[in-house]
Amino acid sequence: MAAGHWAGRTVLVTGGLGFIGSHFVEELLGLGARVLCLYRRDHPEVRAELPVTEALTALRVDVLDERALRAAADTVPGIDMVVNCATLDGNMQFLLQEPGRMLDENMRIVSHVLNLARDRAVPDVVLISSAEIYAYDETRPAREEDDHRRHMEFSPNGYRMSKMFTEVLADLYRTQFGMNIYTPRPTNVYGPRDDFATTTNHVIPNMLMRLAAGQDVEVWGDGSQLRTFIHVHDLVRAVLCMARSGEYPALNIGTPEAVSIRDLAFLVAQAAGQDQDRIRFAPDKPVGAARRALDLERFHKVVDFTPRPLKDGLRDTARWYRKNVLEVQ
């Protein structure tokens, strides 16, 4: 990573104490940037992991409050980039019960961030998108062109719809205002500071928590469905490479390392130091698409590093979980 590019720049990170946002804050500080970290919910355990430095300003701000967002932005003399990691997400029950709220709040967050960046003439804006924008029935790896320009379909998943409309709004703001907006589209993200709440819908934290609680890991179907994962730190580094290069407004972010959910369960058990015989299968449960993968041709042109293998990332995540969750309970 070219530290000199970010040294002395001021970056506003929304959702700055969240899973992905906190890693942006940490990485940017390490590269010499000044960071304005905005957060809605305080996470003292995350704040304790961040560097203690005058280059970090952390403010509790609800980005849904546009006046509060603009007032916070006024506390720094100039902003060179905004990275929006603020988003309303939740487990499957929440996704099904409150899709309208999820779409509404996430779109208002994006609108407030874009309007702030437009009015302050911020040179670069990053809106963290998702590989969820792609159709679920694709039989080949999804390319960046396979987005809303190719097809637009309704989904009862408010989170997915919010990511699709985020990209539509970004396109229109690029056209109307000439703004430099990036929409990275990561595959499944995992790593330290992930959501380890008991209601989490994230597969890797769910497996780690069940194993730690002495419970079996349930794999739906026969576990042959293939997925890809990327460590959160590698995601952050890739996005910063994307913004530094300025070559592509949209970019798939992932690794070519596809893994079956069955093998993922075995790898998580191994990383956690648990017996693999605690994995059982539920053949009557839905499994989703047989394979979901991203075309990474652009990704390999932009990034200047090789993402870590899944096995190494899982060990890192399991170590963090033992130290920062299990040992403090």
pTM over 0.85: yes
**Per-residue pLDDT, 1:** 53
At 327 the pLDDT is 79
pLDDT, tens digit, 9 for 90 and up, residues 96-129 = 899 999 999 999 999 999 999 999 999 999 999 9
Q: State residue 275's pLDDT score.
A: 86
Q: What pLDDT was estimated at residue 2? A: 59
Whole-number pLDDT of residue 136? 75
DSSP code per residue over 46-93: HHTTS---TTEEEEE--TT-HHHHHHHHTTSS--SEEEE-------HH
In the predicted model, residues of the chain with pLDDT beneath 70 are 1-3, 137, 329
Choice among 39, 134, 136, 159 that is catalytic:
159
Element (H, E) at 38: strand 34-39
Q: Cα angle at 317 between 182 and 134, to 5 degrees?
A: 35
Convert the pLDDT of each residue in 255-276 to its tens digit. Answer: 999 999 999 999 999 999 998 8
Active site residue 173: no
pLDDT of 200 reads: 73
- Could you give the C-alpha distances from 23 to 27, 28, 36, 112, 236, in angstroms and in order? 6, 8, 13, 22, 7
Residue 81 backbone phi and psi in degrees, to 5: -160, 145
Residues 6+ apart with CB under 8 A from 284: none
